[in-house]
A and B are shown apart, each in its own frame.
Chain A
Amino acid sequence: MDLPSLEQIVQYVIYGITVGGIYALVALGFTIIYNATDVINFAQGEFVMLGAMMMVSLHSTAHIPMPIAFVLSILIVTAIGATFERLAINPAKNASVITLIIITIGASIFIRGLALPIWGQDPIPATPFSKGSPISVMGAKIPLQRLWVLGTAVLTVGAVHIFYKYTIVGKAMRATAINRVAARLMGINVRRMVLCSFALSAAVGAGAGMAIAPVTHASYSMGAMLGLKGFCAAVLGGLGNGIGAVLGGFIIGVVEHLAIGFAPLGYSGYKDAVAFIILLAILFIKPSGLFGISRK
């Protein structure tokens, strides 16, 4: 077996970091909703897919300029997230957490099923954010879109952080996450915060989808695997811990890509199992995650 060269290792790490950025955003989306509702939103990956598909439709098909298409896509997917909360989560009043989780599983299948006839089965290529030849880092060639992916991830995480820290809605959402009853006593409309969390989570997911689409192509089924990996990341970082979720995403991205690099020939197909093995390992060793505080 040939060990990968240094350039290859650098390449794997950088690719891992960029894809990890997407996992990080998906994980962040999980965390936002989990903190507001205790629910794991299994439809998180579908927000990513919708973001990618909207971008393809608005920019490549309808020829709307990139920045406008970007903003429009985010707005549309945010609206879809809010609608989902109003139509499916809100009406199930007093439902148990298991019931709500099953509803989100249903929603995820439904959205995917709806996307299939609209956008078809084949992956659709998406336009990169900017033209240009790949840049060279320590001998490894990095396509520009990979940097955009990383940039989008960092900017989005920053924006969410500022939103939580400095806006009144963000502060109310944090209060809801910490203690729902106390938040309600302080006059916070908890149900509206749940709505906000779905909208915000959808927006974050859409951003991830638009950034990764030029790298992997957009397809109706892309959300499933990204959702699952992001979910592994959220658990790895400690469910409910935003910073942990983001770090978890990067860790899973890098480990996964290094595993492909070091895998013996013919075993790279096991790549998709890596995230789940990490997930199982962390659940068995430290279920509260790397950065989580164990809760009763």
Chain B
Amino acid sequence: MNDKKPYLRYLPVMALVAFLLLFPAISRNRYYIGVMTDVGLYTIIVIGLNLLMGYAGQISLGHAGFFGIGAYCSGLLSVKLGISPWVTIIAAVIFTAGFAYLIGIPTLKLRGHYLAMATLGFGEVIFVVLSKLDWLTGDTSGLLGIKPLSIGRIQFDSDFAIGQYSLAWIVALAILILSLNITDSRVGRAFRAIHGSEIAASGMGVNIARYKIQVFVLSAVYAAIAGGLYAHFRWFIGYPTFHLKTSIKLVTMVVVGGLGNIWGAVLGAILLTWLPEWLTAAAEYDIMVYGILLMLVMIFIPDGLAGRFSKLVERIMSRDTGDFPSSPDMQVEESD
């Protein structure tokens, strides 16, 4: 259906933009705008992780590590060398991409849960290294005195909540649109083919190793972008933010939203960032709620909320036109 009405694809994007424009006006609360800024940053990472898990079928339990490398790299460069944060974020992204590439070459040769373990392993190593960086940061709990991003005289510091909100979501939307285009391109079809069957995909001439490493590096790049923004939105970053717990939270967002559905990433990030806000009475137990959610969603709706929703929409659409409902995975696309 997307092929016939290309504008339909951007309808949800428009809806999201409208919502994002209205949100600050409706909530009128700096704290809530701050939470929504975090949602934007999570969205950036989760879209990448969703591409990796949902489209290329590779699980990663180490994405908090890439997030952390991005944040620490950019933060350290700006604090120690006094370089503009815009430059340091780019440097951090390039560094993280190189790092992910080096890790990815041997790791992605492994199949199935070996990759989950390997990513978990290096995520844990990164965490230990970050927690012992006091000789470099001068503080045992993290990095202090990170400069905010600025354009001319405007500083995107924590007093300028709406500025941070706008900036986070402009980047998130750009990444969302880019990723939607990727999934509908030749590369995206290759990802789905790998997810379906590696053997069949390689039989069809898909260079599996190359695509896997590309999507792995891409997802690390997204995480590093979010990490860079995160560091400069705050005056201080602490290493506990980049613990395995965060990696699990990210995986939960992907799974609850819907594996292999970019919109699911947005949905998952929104839901699971707001959830602890709603559960303030049970703040200590938010991680338990993630646990229950992960289990329930995987047992009862393995294709996630967005997957369920898009199936529903598809059923309604196909009833209108009299077409047979078709699953997006099986769809044969003739034109590019």
* Residues of B in contact with A, size category: 35 or more
Given A40-B116, A273-B129, A287-B114, verify A228-B295 contact (CB < 8 Å). Answer: no
* Bound-state Cα–Cα, A287 to B111, Å: 10
CA distance A279 to B118 in the complex (A): 7
Q: Which residues of B contact A273 (CB under 8 A)?
A: 124-125, 128-129
Contact B295 A106 (CB under 8 A): yes
Q: Which of B244, B255, B289 contacts A102 (CB 8 A)?
A: B255
Chain B facing A: main interface SS: helix
Residue ID in chain A nearest B290 by CB atoms? A109
Among candidates A97, A105, A270, A287, residue contacting B128 with C-beta atoms closer than 8 Å? A270
Chain A's nearest CB lies how many Å from the CB of B257?
13
Taking a contact as CB atoms under 8 Å apart, the answer to whether A287 and B251 are in contact is no
In the bound assembly, the distance between CA atoms of A40 and B116 in angstroms comes to: 10
Given contacts A273-B129, A287-B114, contact A98 B59 (CB under 8 A): yes
Which B residues lie within 8 Å of A280 (CB)?
118, 121-122, 125
Closest B residue to A117 by beta carbon equals: B285
A181 lies within 8 A of chain B by Cβ: no
* Assembly CA distance A284 to B110 (angstroms): 9
Determine the chain A residues whose CB is within 8 A of the CB of B109 once the complex forms: 287
- List A264-283 residues whose CB lies under 8 Å from chain B: 269-270, 272-273, 276-277, 279-280, 283
CB contacts under 8 Å to B, within A16-59, are 39-40
What chain B residues lie within 8 Å of A105 (beta carbons)? Answer: 61, 248, 251, 294
- Residue of B whose beta carbon sits closest to that of A121: B284
Name the segment of A87-95, A169-177, A206-214 touching the other chain: A87-95
Q: Say yes or no: is A182 at the interface (Cβ < 8 Å to chain B).
A: no
A94 to chain B: closest residue by CB: B302
Decide if A109 touches B122 in the complex (CB within 8 Å): no
A231 to B114, CA, bound (A): 11
B82 is an interface residue with CB less than 8 A from chain A: no
Chain B positions within 8 Å of A99 at CB level: 298, 302
Given the interface contacts A40-B113, A101-B59, A273-B129, does A110 sit within 8 Å of B292 by beta carbon? yes
The answer to whether the Cβ of B106 comes within 8 Å of any Cβ in the partner chain is yes
CB–CB A112/B122 < 8 A = no
C-alpha gap A88/B298 in the complex (Å): 9
Within 8 A of B (CB), among A213-256: 224, 228, 231-232, 235, 239
A116, CB-defined interface residue at 8 Å: yes
Say if the beta carbon of B173 comes within 8 Å of chain A. Answer: no
9 pairs of A and B residues whose beta carbons are closest in the complex: A113-B288, A106-B294, A110-B291, A109-B291, A106-B295, A276-B121, A284-B106, A273-B128, A279-B121
Q: A269-B128, A273-B129 are in contact. List 9 more A-B contacts (CB 8 A).
A: A95-B299, A102-B251, A105-B294, A109-B288, A228-B124, A235-B114, A273-B128, A279-B121, A283-B110
13 A-B pairs whose Cβ atoms sit less than 8 Å apart in the complex: A88-B299, A92-B299, A102-B251, A102-B294, A103-B298, A105-B294, A106-B293, A107-B291, A117-B285, A270-B128, A280-B125, A283-B114, A287-B114
**Chain B contacts to A: CB under 8 angstroms:** 53, 57, 59, 61, 106-107, 109-110, 112-114, 116-118, 120-122, 124-125, 128-129, 131-132, 244, 248, 251-252, 255, 284-285, 287-295, 298-299, 302
